[in-house]
């Protein structure tokens, strides 16, 4: 079985980094995992607070993608680990969505983005689906810690 997600308004929308599930990480509060991820592109600069405090994840993504700000040099090497940490913190913080993630069992999870061939599967399904892969890794980590929380809602 494969679970596709993309919009926060649709089923499994809580898997999106745009979902409104805040958490604390690195001593600060982040209103979404998208805020955390986008800010890490500019650690050690004043842009951190500018982006961290914007109202919506859409705004954070827009600011993070603007190339008027210099991107940290090691971004390509660190971005997957940063995404993994953000996603793990989000699901450790919120039991309701953690249970949804754990209830997917061993199902494949795919970010069904029509435009993103790195984090999602892209318009033709050939993308790397790194966000889906990270969600499955996080599910495995959480399974070892929280599996007793999950009832029989596992997806067969």
Ligand X SMILES: Nc1nc(O)c(N)c(N[C@@H]2O[C@H](COP(=O)(O)O)[C@@H](O)[C@H]2O)n1
DSSP assignments along 93-140, one per residue = H-HHHHHHHHTTTT-EEEE--SS-SSSS--TTS-S--HHHHHHHHHHH
Stretch that binds ligand X, among 19-27, 59-67, 91-99, 137-145 (CB under 6 A): 59-67
Of residues 18-47, those binding ligand X (CB under 6 A): 18, 34, 37
Q: Which is nearer to ligand X, 61 or 142 (CB)?
A: 61
Q: Which of 111, 132, 136, 138 binds ligand X (CB under 6 A)?
A: 111
Q: How far is CA 80 from CA 17, 40, 56, 155, in A?
A: 14, 11, 22, 27
How many residues touch ligand X under the rule CB under 6 A: the total is: 14
Q: Which of 9, 46, 77, 115 binds ligand X (CB under 6 A)?
A: 115
Does position 116 bind ligand X by CB under 6 A?
yes
CA angle 90, 152, 113 (to 5 degrees): 45
Q: Which of 32, 40, 113, 129 binds ligand X (CB under 6 A)?
A: 113
Does position 64 bind ligand X by CB under 6 A?
yes
Q: Which is nearer to ligand X, 106 or 123 (CB)?
A: 123
Distance of CA 42 to the CA centre of its chain: 18
| Cα–Cα dist 51/62, whole Å | 10
Strands 23-25 and 28-30: antiparallel
Of residues 74-103, those binding ligand X (CB under 6 A): none
* Paired tokens of 39: 């800010």
Shortest distance in whole angstroms from residue 93 CB to ligand X: 17
DSSP assignments along 28-43, one per residue = EEESSHHHHHHHGGGT
Q: Which of 88, 131, 135, 142 binds ligand X (CB under 6 A)?
A: 131
Q: Which is nearer to ligand X, 100 or 116 (CB)?
A: 116
């Amino acid at each position: 079985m494969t679970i596709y997600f993309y919009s926060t308004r649709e089923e499994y929308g809580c898997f999106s980094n745009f979902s409104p599930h805040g958490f604390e990480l690195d001593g600060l509060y982040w209103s979404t995992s998208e805020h955390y991820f986008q800010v890490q592109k500019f650690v050690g600069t004043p842009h951190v607070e500018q982006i961290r405090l914007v109202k919506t994840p859409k705004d954070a993504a827009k600011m993070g993608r603007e190339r008027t700000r210099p991107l940290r040099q090691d971004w390509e090497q660190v971005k997957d680990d940063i995404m993994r940490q953000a996603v793990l913190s989000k699901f450790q913080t919120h039991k309701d969505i953690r249970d949804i993630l754990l209830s997917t069992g061993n199902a494949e999870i795919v970010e069904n983005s029509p435009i993103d061939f790195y984090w999602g599967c892209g318009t033709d399904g050939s993308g790397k689906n790194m966000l889906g892969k990270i969600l499955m890794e996080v599910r495995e980590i959480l399974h070892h810690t929280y599996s007793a929380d999950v009832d029989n809602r596992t997806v067969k």
